[in-house]
Amino acid sequence: MTDIDLDWVDKAKHVYCIMTVRSNGSNPNGDPDMEGSPRQLPDGRGWISVVSVRRRVRDLIGDKESEVWKAVSDGLGVDKDNYHILETRGRDKKKIHDEIAAQKFLDKYVDARLFGSTFLDEKNKKKPERNYTKTGITSMSDLISLGPIEVDISTITRKAGTTEDKDRGMAPGGLKKVVHGIYVGETHINMSDMDRFGCKPEDIKIFLRTLPHIYKHASAASAGSVVKSLWVVGFNTPLPHGINDGSLYALLCPKARNGTAKSDVDYVFVDSVPDIIKESTQVIYCGNAVVAISNEPVEYIA
């Protein structure tokens, strides 16, 4: 994993990201309505919810004693007291409403700045100074696999029993995993709205540094899932045209060589910055935050 250049973030007006996750023998996001089986759309394609991705980002940023936090915040001169996580178990709701009223809420909670929040005081709904209902500066999509996935369901056995009358254990259907899947999702960051959401360039830098690591420090069930690539494009305008989000997806998304892709070799991954992006006067940065193919970071800086 190699950090991308981040100096350009201070000048950007709009940021586009396309993230590719590879899952082999893993459960990247279980569906509680399907007994924890990997999420699937009706057409058989795999699905990683944006809620799951945001949860992983929150967990990594929220653990201030971890090596991940130390790495993603390194050199940015940030105060960790400005990077608390709002969506945390056991939070004191009255204290948070007091922070909203005292206008300390956005300064404290980075996930509210990045992802937004609906935090209502049930007893004081008519007092807007005690409530917060805004979207954040980032807009993220679910990650959808490029083709239908195969889900393997197996029985888990254990040498020791789980009850006093059993000397061994068994969980039929306890292991549910994706045999192979390539998932792709998009993120848009409207930098021109930073003041409205109390966001700072350092928030975006920490977010971009964290995304490549969301599966490296995760549960055992998602072991086998990795962020294979994270293309990041920075624009000098809030309203890109010509090279826009739709065309960027087509340019940077991996493509299956045939209709029955079963491993990485069955896909064509983008391993260099397309010339059309380099030629755009609106693009100030394009880079892959994950070195997936080449030995050096793939970057273009205007």
Summarised one tens digit per residue, pLDDT across range 266-295 is 899 998 899 999 999 999 999 998 853 333
State the residue for tokens 């279980």: 30
Average pLDDT of the residues in 217-243: 84
Rama region for 116: left / alpha / beta (φ>0; ψ in -120 to 50; rest): left
Report phi then psi at 3, rounded to 5: -70, 140
Residue 8 to residue 234: CA distance in whole angstroms: 8
Answer whether 214's CB lies under 8 Å from 60's CB: yes
Q: Which residues contact 196 (CB under 8 A, 6 or more apart)?
A: 134
Average pLDDT of the residues in 206-235: 87
Please give the share of the chain, as a percent, with pLDDT higher than 70.
Answer: 84
Q: How confident is the model at residue 50 (pLDDT cuts 50, 70, 90)?
A: very high
Answer whether 48's CB lies under 8 Å from 39's CB: yes
Residue 293 to residue 295: CA distance in whole angstroms: 7
Q: Name the strand (E) or helix (H) holding 277.
A: helix 275-278
> Worst-scoring range by mean pLDDT, 31-45, 73-87, 91-105, 155-169?
155-169
Alpha helix ranges (H) inside 33-164: 50-62, 67-72, 93-101, 105-108, 110-115
Query: Looking at the predicted structure, is the pLDDT value of residue 51 above 90?
Result: yes
Answer whether 56's CB lies under 8 Å from 214's CB: yes
| Domains of the chain by residue range | 7-49+138-301
Answer whether 156's CB lies under 8 Å from 6's CB: no
**End-to-end Cα spacing for the chain:** 23
pLDDT at residue 171, rounded to an integer: 63
The CA-based angle 27-31-33, given to 5 degrees, is: 150
3 burial level (CB within 10 Å; 0-12, 13-18, 19+)? middle
Answer whether 84's CB lies under 8 Å from 104's CB: no
